[in-house]
A and B are shown apart, each in its own frame.
Chain A
């Protein structure tokens, strides 16, 4: 059925199905990529893009469907076979060994040798030559641990090209890049295309798709839903295909947002002044940031991930040391307080990663519902098991957690119900300020609506909410004011009525107000 010769598709995936345990990541996805094109694979978080590409790159094996490359059926092949056939993937999390040099990382697995020894001179020269050819400049003798993120990504691409990749898959390559680095990357990708290479670009950013790709395939809920030629398509066409309904959604939400009950005249519920925070790598993740949030107000923070949003919320929650600046909850300075004292003072926090921080997966629903408040459920003699059980019954009912079995381990719940446990714990108690990080990530549509309703109700009840989300539509649908975080600072703060998706997109890539 596939054609032979030069007219064969570079990549053809048909009916791909992949399940992880009970979760279906791909359900019948189909993708055709022509040779020598830049093909954008777009979709929201959790749409199944990475899984599909890992199947193509041989890291995963599909449960059903066929994979063919250059007209040859290769379903279920291994990574070495894929590399052999010229398919290389640049992962979102770099597959580099930090303790080795650039040249060693590039050569790893196919080292040039001289007798028994690695021919270092040749390894370095190979990298230098490839750098010169592609314009991917990086010092071959530098340790990868010492490189910036942008440089590390260049090494990752060099590594793939060095293995003779003609079909290059890039998974969210710009998530960690600065705008000049993004421009640089586009230039490199066009060079690769010019020399006959085929590129598949996974992304969820529409501006990127429109500026660099030739063809677009959209994925939603595990399957491919539409295919466009980039020329002649508009952002709203793609967006509609991504969410599966009209992007009007954001507009409707705007109309639905009632006038905030709070005005600038009331005292702020949360006040951040001159806050600076370091990342794990020691770089300045949040730089001299100041803002306030009033009762009855949702401040939405949009931005490309990795611009300091995580560090900002962790610092406010007491999970990360503050280098400079203060955090006030109402009139109370909580900068030096412990996590527990902040919680008792009225701070609630829906963390961005419920599997790492938000839940103890092997604890029961009941125990997870008191995490962070265990000291309120214990006397000198021990935990008050009867109260914990009663509390769990009540919250399970109130937040519609299913199955309604408080003794069940959180691990056994679906993503949406796990998130409901977190929401129930953080919002089912007295609080004045809520930090909500990616509150609907990886949950089903029903749960999204439920969670959005909860957030709106809390806002209407006079709570102050800081919402961080990678989903622009979510930010627009829920916020009263929208800030865009870029490089550890707010590049803009706008009233919701003045914000549009296009505008935010510009600020997200570094434009200044």
Chain B
């Protein structure tokens, strides 16, 4: 096996294993409910990719998941765990919503939208920069700080909404007056009724920018160096602490962009609890997408399909079926990745050895 083929196998084999495991677990769970797996899986596909509305909903969910997946992957490439995408997503949505509320209604759409994009990014970046700075300055574990910060930020937003900003009898802000993102149905009328909106374009653009930034710029070169071997990066003139906090801020900004999807693209206001776990699902997306922007977009589609598909099959089996499968996929990929790498490397070493052995025999 050539090194390149082995690298590809290292990336893809765990996914195959994970999907097989998930399929088996799914079958078993469906059977415990007394339903036929075929029927349920067919329903799942029909309810998502089988009709325009389903497709629209999948695309809507893909948007947020792409953003949070990119957020986790960017940090992951620098060797950091951003478990705080949930609150960065919420803060991004909140910031975009507040700016959209405060802007004058007559502002040109593109300009207002640009301001809202900046607001969403800055909102998420602020939340991401805190654990980044604490890690860079004090060595505080970014895993724990991001988790703890999730609760702090969500409580803070809860207080702002419930005490200051809500429309009476609801848990959401007044509607935005500028910067709304048009629905995709304005271009593709078939998608009418679905929440899919132009934020998808922003998310896909973010993926392209991430890919270029990671693999074609000096910043990405240094970021990945920090993630692989921080001591070598330092030796190579990289200011490691600076890269750490900047990466966490950018990671937060990516998650924050995802907040526009709901706030500016769907409802037109910020609502308490809209993030709904999409931040944590970003971990699954990044893991299955192998921390590569292209992989992340595909993985986001997969998990969005599962999430929307859960709703489609809810009449037969509880919609949590697909959440369980999501968790199974995460666990299976997380365990298969190191195992596959070990097996492949051992196999390669064995081949090298037998080659060396026969060469030695011939020589003697």
Please give the residue numbers on chain A whose beta carbons come within 8 Å of chain B beta carbons, in ascending order: 19, 21-22, 317, 319, 338-340, 343, 349, 351, 356-363, 367, 371-372, 374-375, 377-378, 382-383, 385, 408-409, 412
Q: What are 22 A-B residue pairs whose CB atoms fall within 8 Å in the complex?
A: A21-B345, A21-B352, A22-B352, A356-B231, A357-B232, A357-B235, A358-B232, A359-B232, A360-B229, A360-B232, A360-B233, A363-B225, A372-B237, A374-B221, A375-B218, A375-B237, A382-B212, A382-B217, A383-B216, A383-B218, A385-B216, A409-B3
- The answer to whether B229 and A356 have CB atoms under 8 Å apart is yes
Q: A319-B235, A385-B216 are in contact. List 6 more A-B contacts (CB 8 A).
A: A21-B352, A338-B239, A339-B234, A358-B235, A359-B232, A360-B229
Q: Measured between C-beta atoms, what is the minimum distance from B21 to chain A in Å?
A: 28
- The answer to whether A371 and B239 have CB atoms under 8 Å apart is no
**CB of B316 within 8 A of chain A?**
no
- The answer to whether B231 and A412 have CB atoms under 8 Å apart is no
- The answer to whether B3 and A408 have CB atoms under 8 Å apart is yes
Find the B residue at minimum CB distance from A314.
B235
**CB of B349 within 8 A of chain A?**
yes
Residue among A343, A363, A367 making CB contact with B237, cutoff 8 Å: A343
Residue among B221, B225, B235, B352 making CB contact with A339, cutoff 8 Å: B235
Q: Measured between C-beta atoms, what is the minimum distance from B88 to chain A in Å?
A: 26
Question: How many angstroms between the C-alpha atoms of A361 and B345 in the bound complex?
Answer: 15
Question: How many angstroms between the C-alpha atoms of A372 and B237 in the bound complex?
Answer: 5
Q: Which residues of the other chain, B, contact A340 by a CB distance below 8 angstroms?
A: 237
- The answer to whether B217 and A383 have CB atoms under 8 Å apart is yes
Type the 1/0 row for B215-248, where 1 means its CB is closer than 8 Å to any CB of A. Answer: 0111001101100110111111101000000000
- The answer to whether A367 and B221 have CB atoms under 8 Å apart is yes
Find the B residue at minimum CB distance from A356.
B231
Please give the residue numbers on chain B whose beta carbons come within 8 Å of chain A beta carbons, in ascending order: 3, 212, 216-218, 221-222, 224-225, 228-229, 231-237, 239, 345, 349, 352-353, 356
Question: How many angstroms between the C-alpha atoms of A377 and B222 in the bound complex?
Answer: 13
Find the B residue at minimum CB distance from A339.
B237
- The answer to whether B237 and A378 have CB atoms under 8 Å apart is no
Q: Which residues of the other chain, B, contact A343 by a CB distance below 8 angstroms?
A: 237
Chain B contact surface mostly: helix
Q: Which residues of the other chain, B, contact A378 by a CB distance below 8 angstroms?
A: 217-218, 221
Q: Which residues of the other chain, A, contact B218 by a CB distance below 8 angstroms?
A: 374-375, 377-378, 382-383
* A19, A383, A408: most-surrounded residue (chain B CB, <10 A): A383
Q: Measured between C-beta atoms, what is the minimum distance from B292 to chain A in Å?
A: 14
Question: How many angstroms between the C-alpha atoms of A465 and B231 in the bound complex?
Answer: 23
Question: How many angstroms between the C-alpha atoms of A465 and B309 in the bound complex?
Answer: 67
Find the A residue at minimum CB distance from B221.
A374
Q: Measured between C-beta atoms, what is the minimum distance from B3 to chain A in Å?
A: 6
Residue among B216, B233, B345 making CB contact with A382, cutoff 8 Å: B216
- The answer to whether A356 and B236 have CB atoms under 8 Å apart is no
- The answer to whether B353 and A371 have CB atoms under 8 Å apart is no
* A319, A351, A382: most-surrounded residue (chain B CB, <10 A): A382
Question: How many angstroms between the C-alpha atoms of A367 and B225 in the bound complex?
Answer: 10
Say whether, besides A363-B228, A367-B221, A19 and B353 are in contact (CB < 8 Å): yes
- The answer to whether A349 and B235 have CB atoms under 8 Å apart is yes
Q: Which residues of the other chain, B, contact A385 by a CB distance below 8 angstroms?
A: 216
- The answer to whether A372 and B236 have CB atoms under 8 Å apart is yes
Find the A residue at minimum CB distance from B351.
A22
Residue among A22, A351, A382 making CB contact with B349, cutoff 8 Å: A22
Question: How many angstroms between the C-alpha atoms of A383 and B216 in the bound complex?
Answer: 5
Q: Measured between C-beta atoms, what is the minimum distance from B163 to chain A in Å?
A: 46
Find the A residue at minimum CB distance from B218.
A378
Q: Measured between C-beta atoms, what is the minimum distance from A26 to chain B in Å?
A: 14
Q: Measured between C-beta atoms, what is the minimum distance from B236 to chain A in Å?
A: 4
Q: Which residues of the other chain, B, contact A408 by a CB distance below 8 angstroms?
A: 3
Find the A residue at minimum CB distance from B345.
A21
Which 3 residue pairs of A and B lie closest in terms of their CB atoms, listed nearest first? A340-B237, A378-B218, A371-B236
Q: Which residues of the other chain, A, contact B224 by a CB distance below 8 angstroms?
A: 363
* B216, B236, B353: most-surrounded residue (chain A CB, <10 A): B236
- The answer to whether B349 and A338 have CB atoms under 8 Å apart is no
Question: How many angstroms between the C-alpha atoms of A21 and B231 in the bound complex?
Answer: 25
Question: How many angstroms between the C-alpha atoms of A21 and B224 in the bound complex?
Answer: 26
- The answer to whether B225 and A371 have CB atoms under 8 Å apart is yes
Find the B residue at minimum CB distance from A375.
B218
Find the B residue at minimum CB distance from A359.
B232
- The answer to whether A356 and B239 have CB atoms under 8 Å apart is no
- The answer to whether A371 and B349 have CB atoms under 8 Å apart is no
Question: How many angstroms between the C-alpha atoms of A315 and B198 in the bound complex?
Answer: 53
Q: Which residues of the other chain, A, contact B234 by a CB distance below 8 angstroms?
A: 319, 339, 357
Q: Which residues of the other chain, A, contact B232 by a CB distance below 8 angstroms?
A: 356-360, 371
Q: Which residues of the other chain, B, contact A338 by a CB distance below 8 angstroms?
A: 237, 239
Residue among A349, A360, A377 making CB contact with B225, cutoff 8 Å: A360
Q: Measured between C-beta atoms, what is the minimum distance from B101 to chain A in Å?
A: 36
Question: How many angstroms between the C-alpha atoms of A356 and B217 in the bound complex?
Answer: 23
Question: How many angstroms between the C-alpha atoms of A361 and B171 in the bound complex?
Answer: 52
Question: How many angstroms between the C-alpha atoms of A240 and B222 in the bound complex?
Answer: 46
Question: How many angstroms between the C-alpha atoms of A85 and B228 in the bound complex?
Answer: 42
Residue among A19, A357, A374, A382 making CB contact with B231, cutoff 8 Å: A357
- The answer to whether A383 and B221 have CB atoms under 8 Å apart is yes
Find the B residue at minimum CB distance from A379.
B218
Q: Measured between C-beta atoms, what is the minimum distance from A357 to chain B in Å?
A: 4
Question: How many angstroms between the C-alpha atoms of A408 and B345 in the bound complex?
Answer: 16
Question: How many angstroms between the C-alpha atoms of A360 and B77 in the bound complex?
Answer: 14
Q: Measured between C-beta atoms, what is the minimum distance from B277 to chain A in Å?
A: 32
Q: Which residues of the other chain, A, contact B222 by a CB distance below 8 angstroms?
A: 374
Question: How many angstroms between the C-alpha atoms of A361 and B3 in the bound complex?
Answer: 14
Question: How many angstroms between the C-alpha atoms of A420 and B225 in the bound complex?
Answer: 20
Q: Which residues of the other chain, A, contact B3 by a CB distance below 8 angstroms?
A: 408-409, 412
Q: Which residues of the other chain, A, contact B353 by a CB distance below 8 angstroms?
A: 19, 22
Question: How many angstroms between the C-alpha atoms of A508 and B232 in the bound complex?
Answer: 30
Q: Which residues of the other chain, A, contact B221 by a CB distance below 8 angstroms?
A: 367, 374, 378, 383
Question: How many angstroms between the C-alpha atoms of A378 and B217 in the bound complex?
Answer: 7
Q: Which residues of the other chain, B, contact A356 by a CB distance below 8 angstroms?
A: 229, 231-232
Question: How many angstroms between the C-alpha atoms of A199 and B147 in the bound complex?
Answer: 53
- The answer to whether B235 and A22 have CB atoms under 8 Å apart is no
Q: Measured between C-beta atoms, what is the minimum distance from A494 to chain B in Å?
A: 31
Question: How many angstroms between the C-alpha atoms of A22 and B349 in the bound complex?
Answer: 6
Question: How many angstroms between the C-alpha atoms of A338 and B241 in the bound complex?
Answer: 13
Q: Which residues of the other chain, B, contact A360 by a CB distance below 8 angstroms?
A: 225, 228-229, 232-233, 236
Q: Which residues of the other chain, B, contact A377 by a CB distance below 8 angstroms?
A: 218
Q: Measured between C-beta atoms, what is the minimum distance from B352 to chain A in Å?
A: 5
Question: How many angstroms between the C-alpha atoms of A21 and B347 in the bound complex?
Answer: 10
Q: Measured between C-beta atoms, what is the minimum distance from B110 to chain A in Å?
A: 24
Q: Which residues of the other chain, A, contact B237 by a CB distance below 8 angstroms?
A: 338-340, 343, 372, 374-375
Q: Which residues of the other chain, A, contact B236 by a CB distance below 8 angstroms?
A: 339, 360, 371-372, 374
Question: How many angstroms between the C-alpha atoms of A340 and B235 in the bound complex?
Answer: 9
Question: How many angstroms between the C-alpha atoms of A372 and B217 in the bound complex?
Answer: 14
Question: How many angstroms between the C-alpha atoms of A401 and B236 in the bound complex?
Answer: 21
Q: Measured between C-beta atoms, what is the minimum distance from B17 to chain A in Å?
A: 23
Q: Which residues of the other chain, A, contact B229 by a CB distance below 8 angstroms?
A: 356-357, 360-361
Q: Measured between C-beta atoms, what is the minimum distance from B221 to chain A in Å?
A: 5
Question: How many angstroms between the C-alpha atoms of A378 and B225 in the bound complex?
Answer: 16
Q: Which residues of the other chain, B, contact A19 by a CB distance below 8 angstroms?
A: 353
Question: How many angstroms between the C-alpha atoms of A301 and B122 in the bound complex?
Answer: 52
Q: Measured between C-beta atoms, what is the minimum distance from B295 to chain A in Å?
A: 17
Q: Which residues of the other chain, B, contact A382 by a CB distance below 8 angstroms?
A: 212, 216-218
Q: Measured between C-beta atoms, what is the minimum distance from A421 to chain B in Å?
A: 12
Question: How many angstroms between the C-alpha atoms of A290 and B253 in the bound complex?
Answer: 49
Find the B residue at minimum CB distance from A388.
B221
Q: Which residues of the other chain, A, contact B239 by a CB distance below 8 angstroms?
A: 338
Q: Which residues of the other chain, A, contact B212 by a CB distance below 8 angstroms?
A: 382
Q: Which residues of the other chain, A, contact B233 by a CB distance below 8 angstroms?
A: 360
- The answer to whether B352 and A351 have CB atoms under 8 Å apart is no
Q: Measured between C-beta atoms, what is the minimum distance from A68 to chain B in Å?
A: 26
